[in-house]
Amino acid sequence: MRLPASLHALAESLAKLPSIGPRQAIRLALHISTLAPDRASILLDQLGNALRITRCTICDFPFDGDGTHCAICSDDERTNSVLMVVEKETDLLSMEKVGRYNGRYLITGTLPRSGQFTDKQQTLIARVLSSAPQEGYSEVILAVAATPHGELLAQQVTAHLKEHTKKITRLGRGLPRGGEVEFADEDTLGYSLDNRG
């Protein structure tokens, strides 16, 4: 006995979604096939809604309702002269929770293995840049991960944006909240020394 072809097909599609492995995909397909009709129809409706969602014509962030711009790109109280570059939508959500940043965003998406932005990513970057102030940004903040991958992303973004901004900054590095000196790794301690003050 094998997994029925219809569940196998669903599992293969689910396994293509980010961070779902082939075994988890099979378990999910089996579980979904047992959903009660009311929960199933809710899930299908929600998927349909998600697929029809409006995206900001500047930054591509999804948003509810009418209009062409998301809440951030259409908010006149936010400054247009500072741009924060993040890799993922969830990075933006985390940063907004802090409530301390009042500029715009560019969500680049993950850099492909080639280390170069895809055509689609370049189009998005160009679109965001076209909404920059005429004199360019006063600051571009690279809010990328403190990892080698984040470093590479920062280099690529810098190459695309350096002509359009007065300065480029990076998120500060050092001890995280609760971080003990004894257990901090050497890089973190090095950062914390460089950034002392």
Residues contributing to the site for a second copy (CB under 8 A): 1-7, 9-10, 13, 17-20, 23-24, 26-33, 35, 37, 39-40, 42-44, 46-51, 53, 61-64, 70-72, 88-90, 92-93, 96
Backbone angles phi and psi of 5, in degrees to 5: -55, -40
Specify the 3-state DSSP secondary structure of 165.
strand
* 86 secondary structure, DSSP code: E
Cβ closest to a second copy, residue 70 vs residue 161: 70
How many residues comprise the chain?
Answer: 197
* Minimum gap (Å) between residue 17 Cβ and a second copy: 6
Q: How far is the CB of 91 from a second copy (least distance, A)?
A: 11
Least gap, CB of 46 to a second copy (angstroms): 4
Rounding to the nearest 10 degrees, give the CA dihedral for residues 12, 16, 20, 26.
0
Closer residue to a second copy, CB minimum distance, 10 or 157: 10
Contact 74/57 with Cβ under 8 angstroms?
no
Least distance to a second copy, CB of residue 132, Å: 19
Q: How far apart are CA 104 and CA 72, in angstroms?
A: 7
Nearer to a second copy, 42 or 159 (CB): 42
